[in-house]
C-alpha cells in the first residue's frame, strides 16, 4: 500500500511538474509580453503624449495666434461696431431727438389745435348754453333761475319828478274845489228840503250858472267855435227836458226807502264820487273828461235825495244842479286853469269862502270840520308828499308791459 501510494505520488509529480513548468513558462512569457506591451504602450503613450503635446502646443500656438488675430479682429470689429453703433446711436439719437422734437412740435401743435378746438367747442357750448329771455325755448335752467344779465335793463325812478311845495299846493286846489262842490250841492239840498230857499230862486240860480258857464268858456277859450257851442247847448237842453219829464218817476223811485238808508247811501255814493273823480282832467293832465263811476255815483245820490223833496219841480231843480255840479263844472274848471292860474286860484278861494260861510250859518262845528279838511288837503298833504318822495323807488325794466303810444302822444 505504501508503495502504491508512493508510486501514485511519483506519477502525479511526474505529470504535474511538467505541467507547472509549462504554466510557469507561459506565465513568464505572458509577463514578458505584458511588459513589452506595457513598454510599448508606454512608449506609444509617451509618443502620443509627445505628439499630443506638440500638437497641443501647435494648436495652442495656433489657437493663440488665431485668438490673437480673432481678438484683434474682434477688437477691430468691436471698435468698428462700437463706432458704427455710436454713429448709429448718435444718428438714432439725433433722429430720435429730431423725431421727438417733431413729435413734440406735432404734439404741441395738435395740443394747441385740440385746445383751440376745445375752446371753440366750449365757446360754442357756452353760446349754445347761454341763457336767453325766451319763454318758448327749452333751456337747461331751472324755472327760478335768474341770470346775471337779467337786471341789465333795470331802470330806477325813470319818471321821477321832484315836486315843489307851491306847485303841489296849486295842484291840490283841484281836490279842494271838488270837495267844496259836493258840500255846496248838499247845502242846496238842505235848503230845498227846509224850504229856506224859494223854488224860483233855485231855478234862476241853476239857469244863471248854466249861462254864465258857457259865456266864460267862450271868453277863456277862443278856439271853441260857435257850432260846437251850439251843438253842446242843444244837448244840454235836451238833457234837462228829459230830466223834467222823468221828475215824477225819480221822486217816487226810492220813496219806500227809510230816511236812514237814504242818508247812508248818499254819503257812501258821494264819497265814492270823490274817490273816483278824474282830477287829472281838471289839472290839464288829460284832454278828455272820463269819470263814469264818479259821475254815476253822484247822479244816483241826487236821485236818492230827490225822493225826499216835496214836489217834482224840486226834484228837477236838484238833479239839474247835480248835472251842472258833477258833469259840467269840471269841464269849466279845466278850461279856466288852462287859461289862467290866477283865475284858478281865485275860483278856489271864492268857493271855499262861500262854503265856509254857508256852513257857519248852519253849524260852527261843520264849518270848522270843513276848514280843517281843506287846510289839511291844501298844506299838510303837500308837505307829507314832499317828505315821502325821497323813499320813492320806481323800478322799470324789459319785463314790464309795453306801453302803446298814440299819435297824439298819450298812452292808452
CB contact at 8 A, 404 and 190: no
User: How far is residue 335's CA from residue 218's CA, in Å, rounded to a whole number?
Assistant: 10
Give the model's pLDDT for residue 333: 92
User: How far is residue 38's CA from residue 51's CA, in Å, rounded to a whole number?
Assistant: 19
Closest CA to 379 of 157, 158, 175, 97: 175
CB contact at 8 A, 382 and 173: no
DSSP state, residue 327 = I
Give the model's pLDDT for residue 41: 33
Closest CA to 187 of 352, 300, 355, 313: 355
Q: What is the mean pLDDT of the chain?
A: 72
Give the model's pLDDT for residue 375: 95
Residue 5 has pLDDT above 80, yes or no: no
pLDDT in tens, 167-211: 999 999 999 999 999 999 999 999 999 888 888 899 999 889 888
pLDDT in tens, 312-365: 999 999 999 999 999 989 989 998 998 889 999 999 999 999 999 999 999 999
Cα torsion angle, 185, 187, 191, 196, sign: negative
Q: Give me 190's grid cell.
A: 238842505
The larger pLDDT score, comparing residue 247 to residue 43, is at: 247
Alpha helix (H) ranges present in 254-340? 259-275, 279-282, 292-306, 312-323, 329-339
Residue 137 has pLDDT above 60, yes or no: yes
Q: Give me 306's grid cell.
A: 230827490
pTM of the entire structure?
0.60
Residue 160 has pLDDT above 60, yes or no: yes
- Return the top range by mean pLDDT from 47-51, 99-103, 115-119, 197-201: 197-201
Q: Give me 86's grid cell.
A: 455710436
Q: Stretch 283-310: mean pLDDT, rounded?
A: 88
Closest CA to 337 of 217, 235, 229: 217
Domains of the chain, residue spans = 172-396
Which of the four pLDDT bands, split at 50, 70 and 90, describes residue 285? low
Amino acid at each position: 500500500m505504501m508503495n502504491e501510494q508512493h508510486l501514485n505520488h511519483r506519477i502525479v509529480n511526474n505529470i504535474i511538474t511538467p505541467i507547472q513548468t509549462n504554466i510557469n513558462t507561459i506565465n513568464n512569457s505572458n509577463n514578458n509580453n505584458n511588459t513589452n506591451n506595457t513598454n510599448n504602450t508606454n512608449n506609444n503613450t509617451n509618443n502620443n503624449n509627445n505628439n499630443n503635446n506638440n500638437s497641443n502646443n501647435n494648436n495652442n500656438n495656433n489657437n493663440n495666434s488665431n485668438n490673437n488675430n480673432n481678438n484683434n479682429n474682434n477688437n477691430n470689429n468691436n471698435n468698428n461696431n462700437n463706432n458704427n453703433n455710436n454713429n448709429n446711436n448718435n444718428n438714432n439719437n439725433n433722429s430720435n431727438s429730431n423725431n421727438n422734437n417733431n413729435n413734440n412740435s406735432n404734439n404741441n401743435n395738435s395740443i394747441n389745435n385740440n385746445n383751440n378746438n376745445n375752446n371753440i367747442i366750449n365757446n360754442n357750448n357756452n353760446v349754445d348754453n347761454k341763457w336767453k329771455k325766451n319763454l318758448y325755448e327749452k333751456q337747461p335752467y331751472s324755472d327760478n333761475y335768474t341770470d346775471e344779465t337779467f337786471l341789465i335793463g333795470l331802470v330806477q325812478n325813470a319818471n321821477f319828478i321832484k315836486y315843489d311845495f307851491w306847485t303841489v299846493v296849486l295842484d291840490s286846489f283841484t281836490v279842494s274845489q271838488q270837495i267844496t262842490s259836493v258840500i255846496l250841492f248838499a247845502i242846496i239840498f238842505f235848503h230845498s228840503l227846509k224850504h229856506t230857499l224859494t223854488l224860483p230862486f233855485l231855478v234862476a240860480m241853476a239857469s244863471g250858472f248854466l249861462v254864465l258857464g258857457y259865456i266864460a268858456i267862450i271868453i277863456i277859450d277862443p278856439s271853441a267855435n260857435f257850432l260846437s257851442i251850439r251843438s253842446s247847448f242843444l244837448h244840454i237842453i235836451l238833457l234837462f227836458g228829459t230830466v223834467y219829464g222823468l221828475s215824477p218817476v225819480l221822486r217816487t223811485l226810492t220813496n219806500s226807502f227809510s230816511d236812514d238808508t237814504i242818508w247812508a247811501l248818499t254819503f257812501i255814493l258821494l264819497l265814492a264820487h270823490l274817490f273816483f273823480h278824474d282830477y287829472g282832467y281838471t289839472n290839464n293832465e288829460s284832454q278828455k273828461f272820463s269819470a263814469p263811476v264818479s259821475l254815476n255815483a253822484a247822479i244816483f245820490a241826487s236821485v236818492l235825495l230827490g225822493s225826499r223833496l216835496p214836489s217834482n219841480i224840486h226834484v228837477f231843480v236838484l238833479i239839474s244842479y247835480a248835472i251842472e255840479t258833477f258833469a259840467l263844472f269840471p269841464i269849466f274848471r279845466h278850461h279856466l286853469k288852462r287859461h289862467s292860474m290866477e283865475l284858478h286860484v281865485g275860483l278856489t278861494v271864492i268857493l271855499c269862502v262861500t262854503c265856509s260861510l254857508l256852513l257857519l250859518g248852519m253849524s260852527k262845528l261843520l264849518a270848522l270840520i270843513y276848514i280843517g279838511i281843506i287846510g289839511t288837503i291844501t298844506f299838510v298833504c303837500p308837505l307829507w308828499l314832499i317828505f315821502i318822495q325821497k323813499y320813492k323807488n320806481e323800478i322799470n325794466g324789459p319785463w314790464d308791459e309795453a306801453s302803446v303810444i298814440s299819435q297824439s302822444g298819450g298812452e292808452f
